[in-house]
Chain A
């Protein structure tokens, strides 16, 4: 136990400067976006004195480093600033939208894991078989497809032509009342509320975006599974198990167990990546998630939503990495030694 605590302490020492760096870079970046928020907020007819007083109120008259220090101080108090587009605190906006992104990304990741791991394991069992060939081609082409276009293809086929999928306009039908937000994930909230109608609608809306992200992002998981499994199946202990007459399925299962740490690592990296990587798909499906919120912020000189989103995704990646570290302790008895 001490060892685990020590491990996380060391990890945090590395992580906190990195978080600060992320905040600093994004602050400078977004600050250098031209356009005066005070002018944008008050509109072209505002008087110079009104603009000046608003600038003062927003702290925009302070030197840049002061603005940064104020921002960091506010951050520590849980204040991520205010979006002038929604006129609401960014933290509230993000808490409302982040679950939408998280729900989309999590289901997509699950799909990617199912595809990547099962295809990877089968490809590794027969490195020269047709599944290995298929996995090879799939890995190459999935990474090459633009997700925003692939989403359109799916919309055209399943919404426009076949009419199986709902219109790509948000997370739930307009006429369906969304369930009381508990987790923020509509499917789960609907189930918790026992609202089957809402669950059906929310799941139907998830299908196409999840298919898009899941299919196109399975590549890295597939590659990692295939490579690690090939190595594990050629390893001394797999060969020894075969020499001991252990059935092939069990040998493969044991090899997978040994390959799991590497696969989990790539999955965690992908999870963090997808939070920001889902932006375009969110836009195509009018998902109303955190990524879409950030992009609108950039396009409208609304800096705090962008900063908030970058921070949220960085912290999220961090949480995932820490969870994965914990998982390693469970997966591999050698680590705790």
Chain B
């Protein structure tokens, strides 16, 4: 990880801490990182482990944080140190701030030579933070895993970018069935962190590096052992609809860049395998509520009317025709076929690689298509139960795998298939 993510005085503080077995970043939305409460929580979580774990807790220097930095508090075992980093420039926006925070935490993990590092970014609702720490780091420290990714108990309208693009794409390309390939909570071993740092060298080519985007691919490329842990239900932030295109650009940009970087790897991988998991899936909790599909369909229609020229740079004529046909369907019959959606995602991945148009334009122009997919998903699964939703997502992921040869062909011979 890049050392320049941390200012010089903070680097000196890290050096004073010396070393650690575990670095835990806490990025929950509440910036009040109370040192005593967090120490107590981490001690309770890690106290049950067979060996004492020297831990460094990293969090933002929020409003309530009083102490910094922490030499280990050795009065109780296991030793827990504290490191608070300066709040990043708020002008960068919340997503970019979050990405910078991840970068900082992983840099601290690398600098301290920790056996395991990780981040807890979401607020668990049905399990305690203590359980979340245990579930994320116990497989790393005691069971020899290199990567622990989260599994959440989600309402059917939660995690939609994960469901529609990130998870099926990661599964089809890297062969590992991760529910949330980009966390946001995760734990990684020191070996995997080191590998990520090596791969990051020279990877910053004009596009913002997001460490979350390369975790799954790095683990797959090095044959690292990955698993998943159930973290229950988490608090979901409300969607900022006017800024949805920024979210897509910030999340998908690094993911597509990572696909480009790992082309040699994913072209060799066929099929996918399920991963071991820990914890217990909870039963569905509460009603999902209704989604305003009307607005999404309007956005999709507006896109098909106005963005044909932009989409025409990346999508083949057959796909454009299919989208026009979809736009004519009445709302109740609106369904985006999985084949079409997988092809669209693959075409955008390729368009991003070929720089057919400006990358930011490309990613932002995907917003109406993504909203079209959400509308189709919400209409189709309006009355579906959790099991039905999971089965539906499994079918979508299988289609992504089945359509992988299409991406391979276009990737290898883009001119032959050029729209």
Q: Do A and B come from one complex?
A: no
Residue numbers of B with Cβ under 8 A of A are none
